[in-house]
Amino acid sequence: MQKQESIIKELKMKKYIVSLLAMSALVANDKVVLDKASISGESFQETAWELLEYQSQMPTKNVSLIGEKQLLESSSGSGGIQSILEGIAGITYARTSGLGGNISIRGQNTRNGRSIIAIDGVRVNGRTELEFDMIDPLAIQSIEIIRGAASSMYGSNAMNGVINFKTRRWMGDVSAPFKMDAKIRGVEVASVNNALGGRAEVLGGGDGWDVLVGLTGRKASDFRTPAGVAKESKYHSYGTDFNIGYTKNAIRYYLSGKYYSVSNHEANGLFSRPGTSYGFTMSEDPLREIYLKMGVKAYELAGFADKMDWYAYWRRWDTDIYNQLPNGQYRHRKVYNNNYVGGRLNLDKTLKSHSLSYGIDVWSSISPTQLRDEVIRPNPRVILNSRDTYQVSIAPYIKDDYYLNEAWILSGSLRYDYYKMKIGKKKSTTERMDTTLETTRFLDSHSTMTTGALTGNLGATYFINDKFSLNANISQDFKSQGTTGMFPNYGASIQTLANLDLKPETGQTYEIGAKFADKNHYSSLNFYRTNYTDMIALQSLNATTQQYQNIGKAYVQGIELESVHRFLEKWNLQLVGAYTYGQDKTANKPLAYIAPFSGSLSLGYDFLWGSLSWIQRLYLGKKRINNTQERESKTYTMSDIKAVMNLGYFKKDFKDMEMIVGVENLFNTKGRNPATQENINYSRALTNPLLEPGINAFMKFAYKY
């Protein structure tokens, strides 16, 4: 393949990048056997190519990758894709239901807009925290995680990290005669919520074509906790996706897309906390997504670029949200017709010891339909909580990785984001109720607003020898305020007041780390600190009102450890842990909902027929808290056990098929993740904050092809 040949040329010049591949392969636990890889690339596994390409694009960044093997062998029945992501240092799962919930990266929840979710490199704008509900782990090839600032690569809101989901496509020989097959990718059942899920694919190719069409579905009842059933935590979903490409003369033209529908009940209540224990219910029924992407990848170019990647996309969200309060009030919120259109042109060029990437990134949001709340009972009425809005962002960027010699890699990047926002003339209900006309005058006079931000990154990696390396990074980042806080929002139980003076947020991140890797061992230790200016936070004003505010200066700092070891040929030991500390400097109080320490220890043994693993998860309780938003929590630990059986060992016809069985939370431990939010105006209860699932036995069939 032309792509592989291009990477091989870089390998010949920069042989030490292979050590980066070894590091990532160990972290992903994908057992990539480097000894089998020759410089000709004939026997490299596809996962290895993904790891190598990813690391070579960001050699000075703190990155991890969850590979195909780990995705196939992980249980998603009690937590979806979020529970799998929690195995990465610095990431915790703030659960709101059986499927719903957000990821906290370096102490900051994805709802706060300081991290980016991307699908095949395309950032997900809009309701990004809900994208997790739309992702079936069986539909994903791998997950790439940047922990740390990435605004110079992805733009606004990538202050704390990026999670990039790489979707599946057929990877066979496109020069062979055309052939298609139908296969079962996987089927899984789980006891804690009577979950059932699976994925089937029709895939193949030849004569230049590669085709994959997938069909996926999941359903589950309310999950059980050690203290009882978490009422209204059930979900069901279904969807289809496709990835079709045609390759000719080292150019691949492709079209991909998906349709997904989710019905998800939020036991925690989300915006209506304290959840079903107190009679607050919320459901997204359904949440729908349509996504289309078309693009061209060209290799072996001459002149201004060696490789080109161009794509354009359209994504649309529609959501029906139902809220019920203990007093009998029942609302239907219609979040319709939210469109996101964009594209990117990226060019790669190698100039002697420089590896350049440059291009332009464009995205726009088009929301012509106002947010509509229909109060069904009592006193039926309609409340329009916003105006129609339109945004566009245009961002040129450039990145250079300079391979100074076999000991040093230097990296630098710059990006300028130009934002233009237009607010329509359709007035909200709250404006009409405001006799002072303050909000209307402001929105009319600021119907068009523009802003810009320059972000950048400087990094370096120093290889002491073939096993040890040091890395450091300094980044300048920002978070656009967008329409956040501009419109008052009268929700079912909590009202969000408008803040017309909200300013954008800026940040600086400093990182330093060390890595060790050899054939059987890998360790990574990373220290970081992010300083925020004009930090945007949702502040509780009283029991029924809140507001987005610039709280002033703040910082988050921490230590992240990833360590994987193989010894006595059969035994595997993995350590993952992160300590996080956050402080609001202006108010001189802790930042809320930061898990002080979370981690896991895994011990495994390899048999001829498969493997057996014991996993111990630890969550340190919070004693240092912001008592206006949270309460202290207790330390807890949970035990998991998992066996992976290679069915091909028992019968050759079942080659590459696996059966995975295991038990999560083996001792039915009560646990509340410190990152999960609660309503402190109510007493502690099963859903305030939401308890983690109890003992869960699962079984999964997985087919790696």
Name 561's bridge partners.
525, 577
The angle, 0 to 180 degrees and rounded to 10, between the axes of the packed helices 46-57 and 17-28 is 120
Query: 551 with 538: CB under 8 angstroms?
Result: no
Kindly provide the b/e burial profile for residues 159-185, where b requires at least 16 CB atoms within 10 angstroms of the residue's own CB.
bbbbbbbbbbbbeeebeeeeeeeeeeb
Query: 251 with 296: CB under 8 angstroms?
Result: yes
Kind plus residue range of the DSSP H or E element containing 165: strand 161-167
Q: What is the pLDDT of residue 32?
A: 33
Q: What is the pLDDT of residue 53?
A: 54
Q: What is the pLDDT of residue 129?
A: 72
Residue type (1 letter), 274? P
Which one, of 141, 86, 58, lies nearest residue 640 by Cα?
A: 86
Q: What is the pLDDT of residue 298?
A: 95
The angle, 0 to 180 degrees and rounded to 10, between the axes of the packed helices 17-28 and 2-13 is 120
Residue 254: CB atoms within 10 Å: 17
Domains, the chain: 1-703 (2.40.170.20)
Tokens of 6: 């291009």
User: Would you call the peptide bond into 286 cis, given omega within 30 degrees of 0 as the criterion?
Assistant: yes
Please provide residue 162's backbone torsions phi and psi, each rounded to the nearest 5 degrees.
Answer: -135, 135
Q: What is the pLDDT of residue 272?
A: 60
Q: How far apart are CA 694 and CA 195, in angstroms?
A: 14
Residue type (1 letter), 607? F
- 469-500 pLDDT, tens digit each: 999 999 999 998 877 777 777 665 677 777 88
Which one, of 168, 172, 179, lies nearest residue 241 by Cα?
A: 168
Tokens of 470: 């040091």
- 3-29 pLDDT, tens digit each: 444 443 444 344 444 444 444 444 444
Q: What is the pLDDT of residue 189?
A: 96
Dihedral of the alpha carbons of 338, 233, 376, 270, in degrees to the nearest 10: -60
Q: What is the pLDDT of residue 109?
A: 86
CA 207 to chain centre: 36
Instruction: Find where tokens 């994903």 sit.
Output: 140
Q: How far apart are CA 178 and CA 205, in angstroms?
A: 5
Please write down the HEC assignment for all residues of 523-536: EEEEEEEEEEECCE
Q: How far apart are CA 681 and CA 543, in angstroms?
A: 7
Please write down the HEC assignment for all residues of 385-424: CCCCEEEEEEEEEEEEEEECCCCEEEEEEEEEEEEEEEEC
> Which residue stretches of the chain have pLDDT < 70?
1-59, 270-272, 435, 490-493, 543
Environment class of 688 (CB within 10 Å of its CB; exposed 0-12, middle 13-18, buried 19+):
buried
Name 550's bridge partners.
536
For residue 565, the number of C-alpha atoms closer than 13 Å in the C-beta half-sphere is 10
Q: Measure Cα distances from 247 to 81, 202, 211 in Å.
A: 32, 19, 11
Q: What is the pLDDT of residue 492?
A: 58
Longest Cα–Cα distance in the chain:
78
DSSP H helix total and E strand total for the chain: 9, 39
Task: Give the three-class secondary structure for 133.
Answer: helix
Q: 568: Cβ–Cβ under 8 A, 6 or more apart, which residues? A: none
Q: How far apart are CA 151 and CA 479, in angstroms?
A: 9
